Structure 1
């Protein structure tokens, strides 16, 4: 599995992210073409190789005419929609990053997303950084992005609304739920743009995973620190995942003050929202109160949405979560034809390639009602039909399919090997805070 890891030893900003992506090998011309399609007059991407405390890195400066515009979220969306060089996935990712900023600022200022006007993140250089980052991560094609805990820095900075402590209100809102680490530097290390990128693209926070490194990119910040290099390091590589393994998130909370009907309703809402499984376990809690543990298994990317449902529906004060690896058998949907009609189910293969079939309850229940027969009779008919199917109607084993694919690959490779040559930023608002002056919402 291809993964990326962001090592934020001195924080993260938009220009540092874009610099690290380009340094890791993302094609510059594709990013420049995407930026040009934003139709922002006079904008030019300047890419320089610099030294930071004796380490080589890529530094990005966005050259542009002086501007005074304060853009709303709708203005940003229109810019992205009219950018013809962006793919749908790149446009969607960029919109998600800007939306994260808008939602954070709306929360801070007690207003609606559409009424928020961007200051720093609406500036041309920040727009370029965010769009460039969205295009860059899309081009990387990683299945997961991991990240170290985030340092915010210390001290105070002057923003559009006055002097604020680090992290500024908008940045702090974006970093909710993200692990932070203290780095003793009196400066704003993580900017709103950097926080929004992390909030949107990162799947897991923590130490670097056990991975085989293929590329390393160094993105330089603008400030100079006496004690350490101001760098964002991006690792790109492979993580070995055994066949039949996938990562899931387990959410759990203890409930003792709501009715069974509310718990049942909550379970339904969680399943509708994409939970892989939801179940309850009876427990005795403090003061011997009877209660239940509500457990939810989901994809890591669905965690935030499902946690919101649990909080809203149950009123619980806390949710435990942990990421786990699970072993799974290969399975797929399959239908069998019985005297009662067609019945949908799942066929699974064990590690030896043997099959088992499980009819879907809803399909059997519907036929049982239509024919006024016991549901167990419908189940037996479905299982018998699967066992008696002719070989040509049985689904193909994934082991067989994999062998065919490998044989085809080997043949193609040998064929190819015998068929050669038959035809003879001074404007970097994201991380330049030496003047301690920049604009925020």
Structure 2
């Protein structure tokens, strides 16, 4: 219990520090979708957040790797109470509370919303919200219920979803939230009924909300079963900026070889420079779906601990190549990543160890946990074949020689006279 309290304090202090340097904002779109409440389908549960507002960082879609739950936040209240509500909800979920009990934490604060859920425990939203709860019975019957107060619950063991949507002040499509919320809820229900996995549905729902309601900046999403997150794919590059527009083109890809290039550089490519094949445009909501979906012939790679430009994409390429070569071997993956760091392909991060590689072969997922370098260094210290004590000794000798030279320069005339007298 003491360890949990210590971890929660650390989380709160970190989030509080972030709040002190960014302007207040919150997700206006939260959703949890569960298509397989048994937790067996690796793509059977997903959650995510986005907004027209700025600062849609990963704090708006937190995820527990250990307990497979997500906590999504939002509302119009001030930032510090929102963080208190989020950390309170996390603490309750870690103590095996139900999503309803955890989401109810938000009702102790003004204007705060917390949505949470997991593959087998259902989902709930509490506090300041305007949401639809969608349930889909085994016979295909879709039920959609509107809720705006207290706690709205998707029960454990039931296929369904919860979607909250409001418009941000200044959004050109302000006033569309009520219509789009219901429209998207209906389409989510139909897709669940028709057998689509949660990771696909959340991508489609993001597209619909972004296009029709204008709440379109990432944010991101999480595969709650397989533990895969979009990480910083769509979050803002800088503080107080908006994230990637989720219904905009994100990349171009050669469907046959997998070669790809992200926007804006993709604007300069019409064909694959190696094969001459035509390139397919992949929109951000499609890239989101691809990033969190586990397939039989793909490896999902999540990267944590670094926001250096290009780290995520390069690490993903290295890990995919390593898995193809050596399988899901943490030792080999670590070696290949370290080779990339040593060669300069990966900058700003320290060497990794096998314990930093979280391999889930059954779901074809790999998580890589980096430790960023301090003092703005781009590469780790050299691993020289000589001990630090020897280097210190050489340094001391060099210092001594330097002092002798200084003495010779300062007292050269005295020394010369003394020598001539002899």
Report the TM-score when normalising by structure 2: 0.24
* More strand by percentage: 1
Report the TM-score when normalising by structure 1: 0.23
Which structure exhibits the higher relative contact order, with contacts defined as CA atoms closer than 8 Å and separated by 6 or more residues? 1
